[in-house]
Amino acid sequence: MAAFVDQSIVLQYLGFETKGALREYAFNLRGLDGASSSYFVTIPNEAFSAHRASYQDAPAICSLRLQREFASQVDLPPSSTFSVTDAELADFKDAHTPKAKPGRSKPREDENF
């Protein structure tokens, strides 16, 4: 799975490891010049057991975290570790939870069809 950060670099998800109370997600960043860097993003295991994150969404959550880092800093070290915050988990969940459609309600019990 590869995600494009911009036209000159590619961010590739490599997998995860469980490390104590954390899950660490590994990514490789490759530039057109052939240079590559490794980045790691952690999410506490508790976030999954508390249903603040799903295992399926974790790589996307981590990728968004890295993209924010790349956008805010020009020269990141070639290997860095970042942690996903509770606020980032809440923002992702809010943005990806289907919203109820307005004007639709459950039928009343006394209605016969």
Domain ranges of the chain: 2-95
Query: pLDDT tens digits for 56-83?
Result: 999 999 999 999 988 887 777 778 999 9
**pLDDT score of 100:** 75
**pLDDT score of 79:** 81
* CA–CA dist 23, 45 (Å, integer): 6
pTM of the shown model? 0.77
- In sequence order, the 6+-apart residues with CB closer than 8 A to the CB of 78 are 37, 38
Going through 20-57 in order, the beta strands assigned E by DSSP cover 22-31, 36-44
Rg (CA), the chain: 19
pLDDT below 50 — which residues of the chain? 6
